[in-house]
Chain A
């Protein structure tokens, strides 16, 4: 009785609710994809179409050659190589050093460990832009401007966020793992290297991806530390798409920035699971 009277009443209402829900979601998703979609469209227009007012919505003829032109107007591949080298150096070093430090915080005890861990967590909240500016002055003094040494040093000194990620992972592994090795007389470095590190592939790859995207996306450190030739793609895309007279070439800049962003989107889509898992672990705990 109740069931029959409920079905006709709730059925259509639920369906309408669902319809509204899907419409809202599709609209919001469209809004979120809009800016990037517009960037792609802008990158395929002629300069005249891009300068037209009122707006010229779609290119009359899709200007595919903009992609080739964007490669040629500046040394796109050269800058991409610089970005790649810096990102690989930093991501490799910081992943290994953070795993190393994370192991210490997870599996070893010593007086002062709790205090240090508190400082580590607190340092995650330090505004990096504030420390970057005086660090730049120090690097300049040490003659490290226009070299990749800053990224080596940053990589070797580990990143609190990633240390935390590794600590959480290592702390969850069973105790027996190192006990057998200790009885066998293995040192802690060997235990870390031979037993713990091979276990942590998911975190290693997540950490590598996160660190790689940070470096690829960073604008201000390479802007300050590197000269126009040695700088990264982020800086080049932002500021070198100009004619010899200094007028910005916005359609090629748009095309170039799409090519600059797409690798990161692809990496994210491939590594999505680990990426999101890492995000939510550190976000919550």
Chain B
């Protein structure tokens, strides 16, 4: 009995060489218990991340070097063949360009809109809570609801948008076709600016009141204190919004939801101006079943997103001001 106990103590010591030899038994066992407990608690995420994120990405990487299409039994390894084809395909470059243009316009516009709304509803107003709720509401509407709503709104015959134009004597526009479809797409993003409003609002409320008051006493105009106090203090929030906004716009499926036939097979009928890179991937995946080639397209996009995120962080590293956010320093 006593011998048993002693060996178990030495075993534990042996297993944790980092512990000081003088450490008493309960301390060591609590530490190792904690380590084990941490991994027990973290395991659902670790296992899930490996099986449902890393494994599919690795599988896609392997497929991207093959001609796999899910049907043909004699698919084979082609090395960088898919990548060579991809870079010499005009569709790749055009859809990439459209995606870039979409991100570069919709992200800043929605941040400006969201921040503007936040400043507006941060004022002491009557029914402030109601305005906040109503402005945020569209951000809660599921994408399918948004897609159908915008299709109705911008319908060439019966849409309200052309109805308004008609009141001013302007001819009906084919909003959902080229070249206007891209503007409708941007409007669907702006419609959900309430999201950015709420997050910016939390940031605005963290700005010390004394700071703004001091600036006002010093004679700073509202614009000046917005530019020199509010924006710098909000910069971590704005950076976060920029990064998530870019990532969201790269993978948006809204072009599909605005299309006449919103199934993966209908992608080939999308208006050119909304044929974004992700839609090109979908087309290769589902309309043509070229899993290998589409996987190569996916991996190129993945690397581009990593590079873009890195560039955004790098470009803003001297500008973003971390003070309100003590977590970010670590």
Chain A residues with a Cβ under 8 A of chain B: 21-22, 24-25, 28-29, 32-36, 38-39, 42, 49-57, 97, 100-101, 103-105, 108-111, 113, 116, 119-120, 123, 125-131, 133-135, 137-138, 140, 153-154, 156-158, 160, 163, 182, 187-189, 192, 213, 216-217, 219-220, 223-224, 234, 237-239, 250, 253-254, 257-258, 260-261, 264-265, 268-269, 272, 276, 279-280, 283-285
Contacting chain A: which of B56-64, B87-95, B175-183? B56-64
Bound form: Cα–Cα A136–B286 in Å: 11
A131 pairs with B57, CB closer than 8 A: yes
Bound form: Cα–Cα A104–B46 in Å: 12
By a CB distance below 8 angstroms, the chain A residues around B120 are 21, 24-25, 28
A39 pairs with B158, CB closer than 8 A: no
12 more CB-based (< 8 A) A-B contacts, given A265-B141, A276-B136: A25-B121, A36-B137, A38-B153, A108-B37, A125-B309, A129-B251, A156-B44, A217-B142, A220-B253, A238-B257, A260-B142, A264-B141
Which residues in chain B, 77-135, are within 8 Å of chain A measured between CB atoms? 117, 120-121, 123, 125, 131, 133-135
B41 pairs with A213, CB closer than 8 A: no
The 7 closest A-B pairs by CB, nearest first: A157-B48, A104-B41, A217-B142, A55-B163, A280-B202, A283-B199, A53-B157
Closest to A104 in B: B41
By a CB distance below 8 angstroms, the chain A residues around B327 are 285
Assuming the contacts A29-B131, A265-B137, asked whether A157 and B148 have C-beta atoms less than 8 A apart, the reply is no
Closest to B295 in A: A134
Tell me how many residues of B have a C-beta within 8 Å of chain A: 100
Assuming the contacts A55-B163, A217-B142, asked whether A33 and B137 have C-beta atoms less than 8 A apart, the reply is yes
Asked if B185 is an interface residue, CB under 8 A from chain A, the answer is no
Q: Chain B's nearest CB lies how many Å from the CB of A3?
A: 17
Q: Chain A's nearest CB lies how many Å from the CB of B88?
A: 22
Q: Chain B's nearest CB lies how many Å from the CB of A273?
A: 11
By a CB distance below 8 angstroms, the chain B residues around A279 are 195, 198-199
Per DSSP, chain A at the interface is: helix
By a CB distance below 8 angstroms, the chain A residues around B42 are 101, 104-105, 113, 116
By a CB distance below 8 angstroms, the chain B residues around A137 are 56, 59, 63, 70, 291
Closest to B324 in A: A284
Assuming the contacts A125-B309, A261-B145, A283-B202, asked whether A55 and B162 have C-beta atoms less than 8 A apart, the reply is yes
10 contacts between A and B (CB under 8 A): A24-B120, A35-B191, A55-B157, A109-B35, A127-B302, A130-B305, A134-B60, A216-B142, A239-B263, A285-B328
Q: Which of B48, B194, B305 lies in contact with A158, CB distance below 8 A? A: B48
Bound form: Cα–Cα A113–B45 in Å: 13
Q: Which of B41, B52, B203, B302 lies in contact with A154, CB distance below 8 A? A: B52
Assuming the contacts A38-B152, A120-B45, asked whether A261 and B142 have C-beta atoms less than 8 A apart, the reply is yes
Q: Which of A55, A134, A237 lies in contact with B166, CB distance below 8 A? A: A55
Bound form: Cα–Cα A125–B243 in Å: 8
B150 pairs with A35, CB closer than 8 A: yes
Closest to A116 in B: B42
By a CB distance below 8 angstroms, the chain A residues around B40 are 104, 188-189
Assuming the contacts A130-B301, A135-B52, A260-B144, asked whether A54 and B162 have C-beta atoms less than 8 A apart, the reply is yes
A130 pairs with B251, CB closer than 8 A: yes
By a CB distance below 8 angstroms, the chain B residues around A182 are 30
Bound form: Cα–Cα A56–B194 in Å: 30
B240 pairs with A283, CB closer than 8 A: yes
B153 pairs with A35, CB closer than 8 A: yes
B157 pairs with A51, CB closer than 8 A: yes
B149 pairs with A35, CB closer than 8 A: yes
B125 pairs with A25, CB closer than 8 A: yes
B57 pairs with A238, CB closer than 8 A: no
By a CB distance below 8 angstroms, the chain B residues around A257 are 144-145, 148-149
Assuming the contacts A127-B250, A156-B48, A257-B148, asked whether A133 and B41 have C-beta atoms less than 8 A apart, the reply is no
Bound form: Cα–Cα A51–B159 in Å: 9
A219 pairs with B143, CB closer than 8 A: yes
Q: Chain A's nearest CB lies how many Å from the CB of B286?
A: 8
